[in-house]
Structure 1
């Protein structure tokens, strides 16, 4: 059975170490696979606003799974597709709790990311370079009172770029008590919260159902906790060499690291051979 769809994570996977750049080898491999009729999707925890520039580096991109599967974007029709969002009555108390514990929560809503104005100067992580932090900030919409601004609105995701080390364990354990949310991470200290049942595999299943593609015809690449479900689901799942041991054990194949064009090497070996 041939591969009909490639889906790849961004940070630590498709992108170079700057979190911004797709290498020429990766672009070329994806382009050649597209010429053979293979569709290409990006599967990310980011919003469309933050990752649209990256999709522009790979012009053959067809779809984007956003906010860890809470929404998707059809690039050809330029349509944002909400999939499963968190209702206000669920996300609002979580948001209050995070602020009370010195976290800097941003809200992903309708394809954009929102942050309270007074938290903007604290929006940073020791694990992210300044250039990438500035890129993220450039796509933020800062408002005076986020709770009022989005009152009664369903959202895609709550993202905490970095949780102070002294609070991280307690915050994570407290959030895990809830049976209504899904918690994951893509970077050290990062906490990403969506509605229960929402993950990248969930969104890819929805997409593949519409496209009449089975999981045996899907190739995926990932490196972090928020990739686990799709790595388990797809037959052609590749963990990056730079991924944690737990992630590498989850995938069916291991490819080279993100800085050594591991995505391209997987495509070249199993699609372009």
Structure 2
């Protein structure tokens, strides 16, 4: 007889609905019950690893994490799989976003995200609202760990910039 070994769930829009920032305590009880039965719960999200660990703090050591839209997988505190971006393409994307006066760039690593903020409010948003672990660096091109995910933030939304970036990078990245 086959039995369930792993249950994965998306976070935003699934376990966190309508802009809620914290998980219902019942979820932790269910995860604990799964753990007791030998079933691994995996939190799947576009979020950073440290962000997810904080969100699942009561059961943080008992679950697996699929982070950054599948770029990183953690289990028992170890990164067990990692998708790395091509360095040349990543650097071109970082430079392009940095040169856009209306954009902020975020480079994701294993356990932190790196920024060189143009505006202090961007850093505050990432740390206080999003709850990411953020490292401010002088130059994003000098980060020593591999690039796993690069994100652009546009204060007024992405609509007016979407086509420009799609035309430039569509064949190279997803």
What range describes the TM-score normalised by the shorter chain of this pair? 0.7 to 0.9
Partner of residue 97, structure 1? 96
Instruction: Report the alpha carbon displacement of residue 19 of structure 1 after superposing the two structures with TM.
Output: 5.0
State TM-score, norm by structure 2: 0.80
Instruction: Report the alpha carbon displacement of residue 94 of structure 1 after superposing the two structures with TM.
Output: 1.1
Aligned counterparts of 2:146 and 2:60: Cα–Cα separation in 1: 31
Aligned counterparts of 2:30 and 2:106: Cα–Cα separation in 1: 35
Work out which structure has the larger RCO, using CA pairs closer than 8 Å and 6 or more positions apart in sequence.
1
Q: Structure 1 residues 95, 60: closer, same or farther in 2, change over 3 A?
A: closer
State TM-score, norm by structure 1: 0.54
Secondary structure of the corresponding residue to residue 89 of structure 1: helix
Aligned counterparts of 1:100 and 1:137: Cα–Cα separation in 2: 26
Over residues 35-55 of structure 1, what are the superposed CA-to-partner deviations in whole Å (9 max), with x where a residue is unaligned?
A: 332111111222222221112
Name the one with the larger helix percent: 1
RMSD of aligned Cα (Å) = 2.7
Instruction: Report the alpha carbon displacement of residue 113 of structure 1 after superposing the two structures with TM.
Output: 0.3
Secondary structure of the corresponding residue to residue 14 of structure 1: coil
* Stretches of structure 2 lacking an aligned partner (at least 5 in a row): none
Aligned counterparts of 1:19 and 1:60: Cα–Cα separation in 2: 23
Partner of residue 231, structure 1? none
Q: Structure 1 residues 5, 160: closer, same or farther in 2, change over 3 A?
A: same
Q: Structure 1 residues 82, 135: closer, same or farther in 2, change over 3 A?
A: farther
Of the three residues 151, 157, 160, the one matched with 1:159 is 151
Secondary structure of the corresponding residue to residue 113 of structure 2: strand
Q: Are the counterparts in 2 of residues 16 and 23 from structure 1 also a CA contact under 8 Å? A: no
Q: Structure 1 residues 3, 161: closer, same or farther in 2, change over 3 A?
A: farther
